[in-house]
Structure 1
């Protein structure tokens, strides 16, 4: 989170002391400018703590979020941006402060879902230089950096009258961290910033831009995030920030990222040498026994890359096709078995009827034999009767 000056601002009360204004994030200097720190070189990050003691503190930001070491906290509710889209006709101020591009935000934009009410101050970006192994984001997840990072800065308006009074207090600031990665399509919401960067190419340049819905820059899922206590990521590195780093990344196109990385200068317009404003991110700092809390369980928070999502979709489609083939095979098998069963039943029924007819056929033959025997017996009786009659008549004919 950038806390340096260099551009003209208008959200601080005129009565605020000048030396305080020098430290307020993204706001203008009211005294001699202090450009005594850079991201690299002799006045780079490794030297910050010599000039700004709190930069060597034990609760510095950014950090690497190791998801397996986060602690789930069911009390972490989804954040609620209030008034982010109620910009009306008032334009935003976009300026180059020599360290980043800053957009001042009206203080009627507030953030709910936190222990106190926080009012918006400004938002700004961090990015890399486009190298194959370069980073860009300040926070990392499991050691992996994103291409860029957006910070939306708020101050505790419930306890403090303004941002300058809050920024040095332990509970003074709340910052949203949004990791930005490259996607296939351009993000039209980020064009509200990127398309105007060419008008503030040099340090101390500013321009009024049309206001827009700030929430459109945030992830859609505001309920899954990491929470920890940390610091400003630039000098003076006050350890006064309650950080919320969203789990869901936001995508922009490669062309949009290229503009962000190559269009701005950290040098002024009149400087003899132009210095590109690149790699304006701080290296991750030790946790030092701090706990990073998660608003979601580890299982539900697994990050999927676009390739993994594509593989899952293809797998589901192949699974559906395979399931359809299996169902069709089962249906055909069932129909075939049913047909075979009916054919077998018909054959068995035919065989049983034939067996019955075969068993019944000899019966008439038996009755015929009995009839023949009766006739033979009757004929025998007739013959016997005739024979007896002949015997009785035989003696009477003898003289």
Structure 2
């Protein structure tokens, strides 16, 4: 009897703390779920991201529409220096995370870095991923003179001055992303084969696989790395941190309709819903809010076409003379 009374008393004393503990755990699960509970359509699509993630409503958001007549020439945007970009990835993994197809280096792969390119610091490669459309008239996140492209690939790098991605996301120069735009071609692009051959293995959301065939990051880049566009922006997915120095190469990389269709066969799964094709995983373009988009010189040092504002100044100066 005494044991029962003591046990009941103990339970009464601990009840508030127990409920707090369970509530805390449940809140943690709910917050974790909310952090990933976004997609590219309906009530959790891009139009609603600013309400769900405050930073998505900022003034330096990405992607953007790059208008060639309005970009400014910057002579300080020199050529990139790539380290280990020409060495094969031997331990890479491919993953379907429900939002994109992502390729990450393994622990056995040496660090790959970019330097120069008009940036003050060195950046280390973290992962690459893709954005594509349900048809070949759309898919890219960045537009050029209002035109979309069927696929866009992002090489994501972290500033080596910051030890963690969380720290880097708090800094304006925390990340550097190289964006590659793809153009439709009649022939398959063999450089993409090691990745595309594994898409069937990661068709279902959450699936991962080792890449069987080694490939180099260099093989996925455009032939001409200059000129390129440069602007300050953000992640194009939540939490939309404004921590990215963007480089968008002007030259394109080819891809066939057959290869694009294999991307469109990848699946995503909403909770309680049957799996469906993962397509149109791109964010609409964002306002510039006064930001300036710059362009480097061509690789042969020939100046690109001047912006409309520069032409107006030169015309006025000529009339004055």
Identify whether the pair has TM-score above 0.5, normalized to the shorter chain: yes
What corresponds to 1:280 in structure 2? 281
Cα deviation 1:123-178 (Å, max 9, x = unaligned) = 000000016xx410000000001111000000000x11132321221110000000
Aligned to 2:135: 130
Alignment of 1:1-399 (within 5 A): 34-87=35-88, 90-105=90-105, 106=109, 108-113=111-116, 114-130=119-135, 134-157=137-160, 159-209=161-211, 210-261=213-264, 263-267=265-269, 273-296=274-297, 297-299=303-305
Distance in structure 2 (CA, Å) of the matches to 1:52 and 1:64 = 22
Identify, as 1 or 2, the structure richer in helix.
1
Checking the alignment, whether the CA contact within 8 Å between 1:107 and 1:119 is kept in structure 2 is no
Residue 44 of structure 2 aligns to a residue in which SS? coil
CA contact (8 A) 1:107 1:121 kept: no
Give the deviation of 1:258 after TM superposition: 1.4
| CA deviation after TM superposition for structure 1 residue 300, in Å | 9.3
Matches of 2:185 and 2:81, distance apart in 1: 26
Q: TM-score, normalised by structure 1?
A: 0.64
Secondary structure of the corresponding residue to residue 190 of structure 1: helix
Task: Please tell me whether the aligned partners of residues 178 and 246 of structure 2 are also in contact (alpha carbons under 8 angstroms).
Answer: yes
CA–CA separation in structure 2 for the residues paired with 1:162 and 1:221: 32
Instruction: Quote the Cα distance in structure 2 between the aligned partners of 1:52 and 1:107.
Output: 35
Aligned partners of 1:107 and 1:47: how far apart in 2? Answer: 40
Q: CA RMSD in A?
A: 2.2
Inter-partner Cα distance in structure 2 for 1:198 and 1:139: 27
Q: Distance in 2 between matches of 1:167 and 1:123?
A: 17
Tell me by how many angstroms 1:184 deviates: 1.7
CA distance, structure 1, for counterparts of residue 110 and residue 62 of structure 2: 25
Deviating more after overlay: 31-40 vs 52-61: 31-40
Instruction: Give the aligned partner of residue 6 of structure 2.
Output: none
Structure 1 residue 267: Cα displacement: 1.4
Greater strand proportion:
2
CA distance 1:76–1:272, shift in 2 (3 Å): closer
Q: Is the 8 A contact 1:176 1:244 kept in 2?
A: yes
The answer for unaligned runs of 5 or more in structure 2 is 1-31, 298-302, 308-321
- Conservation of the 8 A alpha-carbon contact between 1:79 and 1:223: no
SS at match of 1:144: coil
Report the Cα offset of residue 33 of structure 1. Answer: 7.8
Residue 228 to residue 220, structure 1, CA distance change in 2 (3 Å):
same
Rounded to whole Å, the distance in 1 between the matches of 2:50 and 2:224 is 36
1:155–1:167: 8 Å Cα contact kept in structure 2?
Answer: no
- Give 1 or 2 for the bigger CA radius of gyration: 1
What TM-score do you get using the length of structure 2 for normalisation? Answer: 0.79
Instruction: Give the drift of 1:298.
Output: 3.2
Corresponding pairs, count? 267
SS in 2 for 1:154: strand
Distance 1:33 1:104, change over 3 A: farther
Structure 1 gap segments, 5+ residues each? 1-30, 302-399
The alpha carbon displacement at 1:85 in A equals 2.5
